[in-house]
Amino acid sequence: MRHLTGIKNLSREEIGSLLKRADFWAKSPGVQSEVLRGRFVANLFFEASTRTRFSFEVAQKRLGAHVLNFIPETSSTVKGETILDTVRTLEAMGVEAAVIRTRKDGLFEELADQVELQLINAGDGTNEHPTQCLLDLLTMQQQFGKIEGLSVAIIGDLRHSRVLGSHLHALPKMGAQLLLAGPASMMPQPQLVPHGVQIVEIDEAVRTADVVMMLRVQLERHTSSLFISKEEYHLAHGLTLERARMMKPGAVIMHPAPVNRGVEIHTDLVDCERSLIHKQVTNGVAARMAVMETLLRGSDVKWESSLATAN
49 touches ligand CP by CB under 6 A: yes
Instruction: Select the span of 102-110, 140-148, 178-186, 254-262 touching ligand CP (CB under 6 A).
Output: 254-262
Q: Are 248 and 209 in contact (CB under 8 A)?
A: yes
58 touches ligand CP by CB under 6 A: no
Backbone angles phi, psi at 272, to 5 degrees: -80, 175
- List 258, 261, 278, 305, residue binding ligand CP (CB under 6 A): 258
238 touches ligand CP by CB under 6 A: no
Q: Is 118 annotated as ligand-binding? A: no
* Residue whose CB is less far from ligand CP, 133 or 269: 133
Among candidate residues 158, 159, 138, the one with its CA nearest the CA of residue 147: 138
Among candidate residues 306, 217, 257, the one with its CA nearest the CA of residue 36: 306
**Distance between CA atoms of residues 297 and 91, nearest Å:** 17
Instruction: Select the span of 48-56, 66-74, 85-93, 236-244 touching ligand CP (CB under 6 A).
Output: 48-56
- List 256, 264, 270, 285, residue binding ligand CP (CB under 6 A): 256
Answer positive or negative: Cα dihedral of 113, 115, 121, 123.
Answer: negative
Among candidate residues 142, 152, 130, the one with its CA nearest the CA of residue 4: 130
Cα within 13 Å of Cα(224), Cβ side: 5
Q: Are 305 and 75 in contact (CB under 8 A)?
A: no
52 touches ligand CP by CB under 6 A: yes
- List 2, 27, 31, 50, residue binding ligand CP (CB under 6 A): 50
- List 132, 141, 151, 161, residue binding ligand CP (CB under 6 A): 132
Residues at the binding site for L-aspartate are 79, 162, 216
Residues at the binding site for carbamoyl phosphate are 51-52, 101, 129, 132, 257-258
Q: Using CB under 6 A, list all residues that contact ligand CP.
A: 49-53, 123, 132, 256-258
